[in-house]
Structure 1
């Protein structure tokens, strides 16, 4: 499985020469995590091979795969440790040489005729601005290498190519090894991938990252943050085994890698500690470091601390072999008393070979535990990715004209249903209806507030209700009361009507009055109808437009880059503006019709004139000199005419009159007796009042029907008439440039397209990972 290091830095035990490495003799097996030959070792190898295949699918982007990350400060001996574990020599140079990650995958090929080979690839995961790419780009860097001596130089050049993206790869690959124009990046998250296979090669992989920078003396503030972020991106994952490398020549509390490990693994459950450079321990401090091996003190770890000893600078320059290096390590721990005298139970935590065995066991156990979990996580992620894909707009087809035509047709069908009316409580017609009722009430309130008595007695007199309207107007709650009907109008007393009547006389005969008086009163009423009509018109316009634009968003919002939606909105707003103007013209026309009184419903007008006239006369009798007789007539209406006494009371006298008329064969009732009273001098004014009030009943009902009908015809249903042709014409999808226009309208949003591409690639790699796992899980 993955062995990940955070640096290939020089130290006091490193050299600056490119040949400073110890060779690996052919008769010595490669050291690695999967070189065991027993049955247990074979199972481990199969598990490691499976995780390698999962890494090849790229699922580590989405799933937490088991891995080992080696972390430590610069000069902590990580490079020498990785070389001892893997048998691979890393590039070395003076100063900090590893400024970009280097991934190394090792595969053992036991075939008799197998040849050692190495393929180096540059993997780009961010662009030049540092923005992450949706999918990594893999580019081979040079030909396949069959000579181990060429690997170190090729790796160095590949790292330089990443740090100098402005220079062509071929120039760096084939040109001067020291090529540098001063514009190189300090660090980069793009990395080199090295795949090595052949006999004697261990089965493992690691990623060598820049070492942790301890201070601004070793790098800028940005460098410190960048390197620390790279390290954290590995060790924060729950399935990452942290191989914490600590140099014995530096106070442990001053080594930042320890603090990072404790930050992400505070209980030490997945950290393996490694003490390096034990030959550099200051005399007298040995017991302090031996305490780590005994897992005592403040830095206890579940998997304990180990101690290894790697070749120093002199031994590397002399060309020490791997076998000699291991012998030197054994000799060191055997001859130094502090290590030699440790109990056997602690001796197993000394030497590289013991560390490798323990790491192999920890990693294989973690892989065995995680594989079923990884399989389940992949299935859930596959399902979630399918759901995310389904939420995206439909991918544009190769025939945008058909797509747009189908969308517009569907929109027109939905538009027709919307304008015709749907049963939802918040649908268009349901929103309009309350304002139509309000409009009707406003028109009713414009009824003239006639008072059939003199102004002096008017303010103290209450006008009785029009009870004969009760069965006709289903809008009571007091609205048919004369005062409520005309709440915003000043009372018009009978003497004012009479005065206007007399002032308007010209050549009329006696007892005749000019028609212009009635016309004037009616025009005063109809002039009040414009404001409520326009208010209703504007409300219906606003509400209808909102509902239609809501439908536009529903149908077009997620199509392409929103161009179709924006153009449709502009076209609809203009079309609705045109319908508004046409509707206003229609309302004005209706108002103009009402300017001059007219009706063919003469029976309705005559009937109401008689009712209003009787009502006004009765009201006037209640206040006039014949009030006593009027009261007697009202009482008589509630009594039996045949029952009377010999008294001289008004009711008895009137009863005797009606009885006598009956004996003469004349049928009459109490209301007929009113005609016997002297004629009211205000009778012409009462006639005008009754005529105007009766005409209002005819006109207002007609108008409160016609205006909503006109608005519905011209604006609501009128919007739909010929709108399909209007919309397609304005969009130009049936014109000479229809193909180009449809392609532009159908062009998908870059954000949506990128999101779909990311999800499809994610789905592809997860399915590939699932296929690999399904073979064994």
Structure 2
């Protein structure tokens, strides 16, 4: 049972002048910053039965219950805090590898006004962790014991479960691995001081704690060795000499050196009233025999407290600048991650507000890009691929131009000419005679009641359908390309105005389905335009058609005119007489006469007229079709509706269930936001604590310099241990 505390022994660990520095670190620990960042602390480690619990008792002045190895089944954090009232609080800090809310360990919190019920509280905590006779033997959860009082200094000591060498009936292989994993995780924390406890009862070479210490602290810069039970060695024996050599740092070298303690025999002596007696017996033991040859600073609990105080304070002072930098870095990283999650969206109103804000930005950017206004910061360099894709009006304009050029060059099936033929590509170049043969064949196969030499109007429609048959493939390809560009454009817009979780949901549940509908509408409209040309009799009132047909054979007149002009070396052929070789000639009449075609039969003449009328109508219909695709399909069915896909009105009408699916946070997101928010709060408070301490120390240093300058003789030597000066903090980058 815990009956009393040795205040004198506790006060030996830190003086009042140095307590301010320890208070700052302890305050950080109380804020919970040690969940995210390693803090200076004392870790007591050793093999099972090495006497580490007795070391902990001697250091802290707190006698621990030893019944059934009560406090060795899990890490035990002893927190001594200075408060006006005295009390004991026992809680459990769940292991961070699983969600503590699932088993309720985070709720375990018990308080005592006295100390008599402390062993029962620890036993209750064991049960909460699942440590029972029939259950598991060890736990990674940490038992936190806070002992408060007006005369208690701030100090944290971690007692680790003893390292197990091999499995037994009560300790399985799993237990061996678990204990080693837990101990190593604490020892690896770079700001922890490791007290490696070695029992003189066993050969130190066989004690696992030394191997662990050298693994995690290769240079030995933050490890201090502690030899216990030296009274078990036979005086003058080889074993005693070996351990004395170890204490001299000759066997296993640690920068912090070694210390030797004589433990209180916990098997025969119990109670804190005997702690002072142990000190007397310890001093008597080290005053004789071979151990007295060691420096007094290496012997006994009083000297160990002094050494630990000095080491801990120096380490805190050394680590403080890097601790501040690590906190600042953690803050920046956490804030950036929280920013990526966006605003919290728990209720329907919050979700709808978020979507309304997204829709306003979405609609503004889409309307600007569709209208060709690119002054928003969203639009990147137009020379880059992304910047060009963001300018949808420019993209569509260029695509429409390419479409017009392509369908003009390759939209007809046959063309009179002698160019080389490209395989599988329109048009097919044929002579006029071959073309007329095809027309005449069509007339024969579709003959009706018309007289010889007269062609049926239906022939023109059939010829036109054949001639314009490539239109569909070219037009549908253009529509699909334009739609693909719109899809890419909207993806860029939504990624810009919404965080990743919302943008992905909007793309999946709103934007892509709406775009598929637009594509369907555009394809239907394209089919309608094609049908108006292919399924309806050719109709036009365009004056250009009448002018073209008014001059039969005008297509060949131009060809003949070019031949005559080239033959005589003329730039043009006028309607009147032209002077050539000292004579006047009417070359225009010559061209007219040459271009008059005399067909051998009336049917051939009818085929020629049908071909001319089909070609005249084709070029008029082609212009109309190009404009129809550009205006009625691309513009009206794809571009114009884009801004309405995610308009504020559409969001306002959105059902609550849909809004929750899109903008509602997932459990994972909410949990992550909660963890990040908590971490940011803890780190921010911790940073404030560090900055206040540094500011206070700088101010004290300035005041001290002013006092020294005024000739005041102040003894400040005891403040120099481990306290960072102004120059120290400036050199370390502390602001």
The residue number in structure 2 matching 1:486 is 427
Alpha-carbon distance between aligned partners in 2 of 1:313 and 1:64, rounded to the nearest angstrom: 33
Cα distance, 1:420–1:132 mapped onto 2, change above 3 Å: farther
- Partner of residue 705, structure 2: none
What aligned pairs does 1:608-619 form with structure 2 within 5 A after superposition?
A: 610-614=553-557
* Counterpart position of 1:48: 22
Q: Secondary structure at the match of 2:112?
A: coil
Matched residues in 2 for 1:417 and 1:372: separation?
Answer: 50
Deviates more, 1:197-206 or 1:718-727: 718-727
Deviation at 1:272, TM superposition (A): 0.5
Q: What SS class does the counterpart of residue 527 from structure 1 fall into?
A: coil
Q: Secondary structure at the match of 1:91?
A: coil
Q: 1:372 to 1:571 in 2, by over 3 A?
A: same
2:667 — aligned with what? 750
Q: 1:514, CA displacement in angstroms?
A: 4.6
The question of 1:244 aligning with 2:196 is answered yes
1:355-411 CA distances to partner (integer Å, 9 max, x unpaired)? Answer: 221111111111222334433443443344333333321223863344444443443
Q: Tell me the residue number matched to 1:671.
A: 591
The residue number in structure 1 matching 2:35 is: 61
Alignment partner of 1:131 out of 99, 118, 124: 99
Alignment correspondent of 1:771: 688
1:307 is aligned to 2:260:
yes
Q: Is this contact kept in 2: 1:561–1:746, CA < 8 A? A: no
Residue 549 of structure 1, CA deviation: 5.0
Indicate how the Cα distance of structure 1 residues 607 and 540 shifts in structure 2: closer, same or farther if over 3 A, else same.
Answer: farther
Query: What's the offset of the Cα at 1:287?
Result: 1.5
Give the aligned CA root-mean-square deviation in angstroms: 4.3
Give the secondary-structure state (helix, strand or coil) at the position aligned to 1:192. Answer: strand
Cα distance, 1:537–1:595 mapped onto 2, change above 3 Å: farther
Deviates more, 1:558-567 or 1:77-86: 558-567
Once the two structures are overlaid, the 10-residue window that deviates more, 551-560 or 86-95, is: 551-560
SS in 1 for 2:121: helix
The alpha-carbon deviation at position 159 of structure 1 amounts to 3.1
Q: Is the 8 A contact 1:307 1:349 kept in 2?
A: yes
Per-residue CA deviation, residues 165-199 of structure 1 (Å, 9 max, x unaligned), is xxxxxxxxxxxxxxx6x654432233332222347
Q: 1:598 aligns with which of 531, 534, 540?
A: 540
Question: Counterpart in 2 of 1:389?
Answer: 338
Q: Structure 1 residue 83 and structure 2 residue 57: aligned?
A: yes
CA distance in 1, matches of 2:322, 2:282: 40
Matches within 5 A, 1:152-551: 152-163=119-130, 184-198=135-149, 201=152, 203-217=154-168, 219-281=171-233, 283-297=237-251, 299-313=252-266, 315-316=268-269, 321-336=274-289, 338-340=290-292, 342=293, 346-396=295-345, 399-400=349-350, 401-421=352-372, 424-426=387-389, 427-433=391-397, 435-436=399-400, 437-438=402-403, 440-442=405-407, 444-447=409-412, 449=414, 463=417, 486-487=427-428, 492-497=434-439, 512-548=454-490, 551=493
Q: Which ranges in structure 2 are unaligned for 5 or more consecutive residues?
A: 375-386, 574-578, 695-735
Task: Provide the secondary structure at the position in 1 that maps to 2:94.
Answer: strand
Number of residue pairs matched by the alignment: 666
Match of 1:647 in 2: none
Change (3 A) 1:224 1:133: farther
Q: Say if 1:82 and 1:490 are closer, same or farther in 2 by CA, change over 3 A.
A: farther
Q: How many Å apart are 1:671 and its aligned residue?
A: 2.5
Asked whether the equivalents of residues 308 and 351 of structure 1 are also in contact (C-alpha less than 8 Å), the reply is yes
Deviations 1:93-120 (A, max 9, x none): 24675222322222467xxxx77x3322
Alpha-carbon offset, residue 205 of structure 1: 2.6
1:519, 1:596 within 8 Å by CA — same for their partners in 2?
yes
Relative to structure 1, is the Cα distance of residues 759 and 604 closer, same or farther in structure 2, using a 3 angstrom cutoff? Answer: farther
SS in 2 for 1:238: coil
* Worse-superposed segment, 712-721 or 235-244: 712-721
Contact 1:159 1:191 (8 Å CA) reproduced? no
Secondary structure of 1:214's aligned partner: coil
Query: 1:706 Cα shift?
Result: 2.0
Q: Unaligned 5+ residue runs, structure 1?
A: 1-18, 165-179, 452-462, 466-477, 620-629, 642-653
Following superposition, the deviation at residue 247 of structure 1 comes to 0.9
CA drift of 1:241 comes to 1.1
SS at structure 2 position matched to 1:75? coil
Rounded to whole Å, the distance in 1 between the matches of 2:498 and 2:534 is 42
Equivalent residues of 1:523, 1:595 under 8 A apart? no
Change (3 A) 1:370 1:684: same
TM-score (norm 2): 0.78
Equivalent-residue separation in structure 2 for 1:593 and 1:215 (angstroms) = 91
- Taking structure 1 as the reference length, the TM-score comes to 0.74
Q: Give 1:314 deviation, angstroms.
A: 6.1
SS of 2:145 mapped into structure 1: strand
Encode CA deviations 1:629-672: one digit per residue, 9 max, x unaligned: x99x974465999xxxxxxxxxxxx989x94x86xxx7866435
The change in CA–CA distance for 1:97 and 1:679 in structure 2 (over 3 A counts) is closer
| Alpha-carbon distance in 2 for matches of 1:198, 1:726 | 61
SS of alignment partner, residue 598 of structure 1 = coil
Secondary structure of the structure 1 residue equivalent to 2:9? coil
SS at match of 2:470: helix
1:554 is displaced (CA, Å) by 4.8
SS at match of 1:216: coil
3-state SS, counterpart of residue 285 of structure 1:
helix
Separation in 1, partners of 2:82, 2:436? 118
Deviation for aligned residue 1:83: 1.0
C-alpha distance in structure 2 between counterparts of 1:717 and 1:187, whole Å: 67
Deviation at 1:259, TM superposition (A): 0.9
Task: Verify the 8 A CA contact 2:342 2:499 in the aligned structure 1.
Answer: no
